[in-house]
Amino acid sequence: MLFSAFTINTTESTCSSTTMSCSSSTLILPSVVTKNGFRRFSSKQQLDKSRVFMTSISVGSRAAASAVVDDALFADYKPTNAFLFPGQGAQAVGMGVEAQKVPAAAELYKRANEIMGFDLLDICINGPKEKLDSTVLSQPAIYVTSLAAVEMLRAREGGQLIIDSVDVTCGLSLGEYTALAFAGAFSFEDGLKLVKLRGEAMQDAADAAKSAMVSIIGLDSDKVQQLCDAANEEVDEANKVQIANFLCPGNYAVSGGVKGIEAVEAKAKSFKARMTVRLAVAGAFHTSFMNPAVSRLETALGATEIRTPRIPVISNVDAQPHADPDTIKKILASQVTSPVQWETTIKTLLTKGLKKSYELGPGKVIAGIVKRMDRGAEIENIGA
């Protein structure tokens, strides 16, 4: 991904979900903050519409509930405070330095080093940039740094109260995994293993075919689709293009074969685009070019314990929250070949009455997107 001073672009995300229903019951979850994890539901908080009894487990824990879950559990969520997590492209050499001042945040890097098999923190702090920017390293690095930012917030005065107030979360492509970890859907370690494999699988898929991505600045989504249609008339099937990231009004990323991307760039001005920016990424993320990565993700997700999130986590694929672990697995596998519905996600949160959001992790990309959609929106950056 590439970001200019006045644009917000990302390079990382429909699948059918199966709704599973069962009898209604009341969900009562105790309020607990574990040693290395995140808050469970507030004390004695009841969700009358819940169809499942479970105990929400924080990051770092392996315990889980086994029950049938109604995937629509969070369908009528009403957001007030949100945690938003960045995706690939937010990385920068030097991230993680501040996190070393907070023991709980620093501990996450130590745990990550054991899983990665090398010193991830050293690459975050010292680079080189070319190494950190690679898909296989930037994704784990951002995941760890974003969760370290949560621990940095927790350590500051009033930080735990802020964390306790968060009632919805989401992340941009890769950031969806971070959001799920924060929401207790899987452990920190399991999330990192998934993100590591995801980066490797996406890199391998990109290496298998010549593809690219480009950001189109200054057009609405309908015009960008028309631009893609015009470009596709001039290339063969292997070079077709599509919108891969619906980021915010006037900023959409297109993915596809190199010849198709070149056709988009050549025609952009005739469609009145302000500019195009070729993205420095491995390949055409969030398109069928990533199909080779899907089976590897399905296998890894199938072997991973995923629980119902303790708060709604909005999917990049359909901009909806999901509660059923099996549905979450299917969506995460399809996410790498599906367009990112970030514009709809943020618009929905704002329309539903979101009062404040926090961007946790490196960069300020998400804050820029939110402000572009609503200049009056209140958002705070928590770096690491």
Catalytic residues: 173, 286
Sign of the four-CA dihedral 118, 121, 123, 126: negative
> Can you tell me the distance from the alpha carbon of 301 to that of 309, in angstroms, rounded to the nearest whole number?
16
Report phi then psi at 359, rounded to 5: -95, 115
Letter for the amino acid at 6?
A: F
Report phi then psi at 59, rounded to 5: -55, 135
Q: Which alpha helices (H) appear in 187-246, and where do they start and end?
A: 188-207, 221-232
Contact 13, 246 (CB under 8 A): no
> Can you tell me the distance from the alpha carbon of 124 to that of 268, in angstroms, rounded to the nearest whole number?
36
Which residue has tokens 């945040």? 105
> Can you tell me the distance from the alpha carbon of 279 to that of 277, in angstroms, rounded to the nearest whole number?
6
Q: Coil, strand, or helix at residue 39?
A: coil
Residue 128: asked if its preceding bond is cis (omega within 30°), the reply is yes
From first CA to last CA, the distance across the chain in angstroms is 20
Structure tokens at 302: 């199938």
Cβ neighbours around 304 below 10 Å, total: 18
Contact 104, 380 (CB under 8 A): no
Contact 9, 89 (CB under 8 A): yes
